[in-house]
Chains A and B, each alone.
Chain A
């Protein structure tokens, strides 16, 4: 839903910060050493298996090579990243009890106003720790669990966490998955019991406020047989002139005939290195729906992966990236068809402007056993000027004899004629371009809940006005 009447965008909306040098905060020294990891583990009161896993992951991290493809991350100096920063406060269930500066930050971002706008539950992470969590009573009564991993471990779900934690994304997957395993903190743990349908979304918001720090939240969502849930994550950070790092992990388990929709609106600041990993495992008849809007970060490596394990399981991916000046957003989508009659639809849009680079990689694997399976990939890129770049790299590995696979890619420039047409009706050049871009993004914004669609149009508007957010 495009809206040309969105005006008066508050550019300061994302770019405000509070001084964290004060005594109210605990900040780990920069770098990633055994001593630091042990201290974090101590601080968090990890059970032994978590502590061991952290140390094992650090070992893997130290022995693994950097990724040798994709955009350069040389500017990311790991010796100058703080692995852990937290306010000296515990997680609150009551908004009133959240410390003032944090509360003000989230209120400026529209949380918990969002909660009042009919959400089933809200979580908010500030730097390394979740500061607020609340689940509506009627949803909790149905047996839905929504908390952070640490709390889940301490409140009777330790076995479940152990069963699923870093099983879909093993630390050996890549260097930053290993790093994540060593320093992870915060995130979400969601369990939706069999047959339970949560009809309004759950939402977690991640804010990285500290300069030169990393955010390493871990998300596990288990949607049990026949259950249904929509989970939304939002991310943002104020801009600093030092590098920040985000290396989260998201592990999604969709059981038989269950459905999970996972929506992300990401607006990290442009000093952020976003090396995030997301993966979903879908059982028989299950359905996974990804909706993703990526606007921020200096460099992103982001390729949500879905394994269609069960027969008749399905996946859709609808994503958009907007890369502006100085941004190199390397995104994509990966799907592996294992079960029979499985289907996947990947629809990606990319907008690049002012020298921004948008790359979309798709990887489709159809295993031999996945007979009668379908996959379609379409990727549409819009470049707003001649100095920006957009590219697509499709990879396919089809082993089933009867797979039905389609791929379509279009790369185009914004049409001067269309801009002229709109201007001839009184619209300024900036507004005309913004309108064309939101029209281009429309198929993605349509997938988002209304307030997020508005938010996305605001972001487009900010990007189009040339303001360096």
Chain B
């Protein structure tokens, strides 16, 4: 493993449910610090499963393999510990949490992750700056976390969290789906800012090239039936957009 590697997934196989349905099969993935990786693949291929597995999602059983983050084996680590290490997952379906506003949730989250107490005034500045970056109406942060947010608003709020928490590695699971054209652009700019300003590393799961507009892509992986069927550079995205996944499914 080179010094520059931030994440290394080795031979990862996962199952789900009591029947132990296999989802991921012997997945290998190496991501360098500061890189942007794209994961594409048909519905049900296991893309979200991969994201959940890196974050430590409870529904999946790891049958074999390991996940190494910054040289440390995190395969059996709880999600909160992984978050403390600097991993972030933007959910495909963000969860509504009634009873706490986005503002106080994010503040306590940031305090947890940094281990420092952050003054309200100081935090509000961080928050305002982040909201501005993605053109987000300030009133959202005084509503309960995701409660009653529209599909697109929830996705935007995930990026807001990303910009406030500034993790080392961000996995974005279809953050672009459900966003209108303008929102895709602002979110794309937000992601790009995360990368440039904070030196972030990205794994982006997407069906849509528009989100990549403001980003330089280092690698693309095609996930089919739980396996990485093909890895390549940015050119693979165009190829898939033109020809679909058929050739990998049959292969």
Contacts and interface: CB of A to CB of B under 8 A. Distances in A.
Contacts of B56: 420, 423-424
A5 interface: yes
Interface stretch (B86-94, B135-143, B194-202, B204-212): B86-94
Contacts of A3: 100, 104
A417 B89 CA distance: 13
B99 A429 contact: no
Interface string A410-430: 000001111111111111110
Which of B78, B91, B99 has the most chain A CB atoms inside 10 A of its CB?
B99
A419 B112 CA distance: 16
Interface residues of A, number: 28
A320 to B, nearest CB: 12
A417 B98 CA distance: 14
A450 B105 CA distance: 19
A440 B83 contact: no
Interface string A423-465: 1111111001001101111100000000000000000000000
Contacts of A423: 56, 78-80, 83
Contacts of A420: 52, 55-58, 79
B105 A429 contact: no
A5 B99 contact: no
Looking at chain A's contact residues, is the secondary structure mostly helix, strand, loop, or mixed?
A: helix
Nearest to A1: B99
A440 B99 contact: yes
Contact of B108 (A1, A4, A436): A4
A92 to B, nearest CB: 40
A417 B79 CA distance: 12
B95 A418 contact: yes
Contacts of A415: 95
A176 to B, nearest CB: 36
Given A417-B95, A439-B100, A440-B99, A429 B78 contact: yes
B95 A425 contact: no
A442 B52 CA distance: 29
Given A426-B109, A427-B109, A440 B80 contact: no
B84 interface: yes
A334 B82 CA distance: 49
Nearest to B144: A439
B188 interface: no
B161 interface: yes
A2 interface: yes
A425 B109 contact: yes
Given A3-B104, A4-B104, A426-B109, A421 B97 contact: yes
Contact of A424 (B88, B97, B100, B105): B88
Contact of B113 (A426, A428, A439, A441): A426
B165 interface: yes
B139 to A, nearest CB: 18
B59 interface: yes
A354 to B, nearest CB: 19
Contact of B79 (A5, A424, A438, A441): A424
B19 to A, nearest CB: 18
B99 A424 contact: no
Contacts of B55: 420, 424
A415 B97 CA distance: 11
A415 B55 CA distance: 17
A440 B98 contact: yes
Interface string A74-110: 0000000000000000000000000000000000000
Contacts of B79: 420, 423-424
Interface in B57-91: 57-59, 78-80, 82-84, 88-89, 91
B84 to A, nearest CB: 6
B80 A4 contact: no
Contacts of A2: 99-100
A428 B95 CA distance: 17
Interface in B100-143: 100, 104-105, 108-109, 112-113
Nearest to A432: B80
A420 B59 CA distance: 10
Interface string A172-198: 000000000000000000000000000
Interface of A: 1-5, 415-429, 432, 435-436, 438-442
Given A418-B95, A439-B99, A440-B99, 14 more contacts: A3-B104, A4-B105, A5-B108, A417-B95, A420-B52, A420-B58, A421-B94, A421-B95, A421-B97, A423-B79, A425-B105, A425-B113, A438-B99, A438-B100
25 contacts: A3-B100, A4-B100, A4-B104, A4-B105, A5-B108, A416-B59, A417-B59, A418-B97, A420-B52, A420-B56, A421-B97, A423-B78, A423-B80, A424-B83, A424-B89, A425-B83, A425-B165, A426-B80, A426-B113, A427-B80, A427-B112, A429-B78, A432-B80, A438-B100, A441-B99
Q: Which 5 A-B pairs have the closest CB atoms?
A: A439-B99, A442-B99, A2-B99, A423-B79, A426-B112
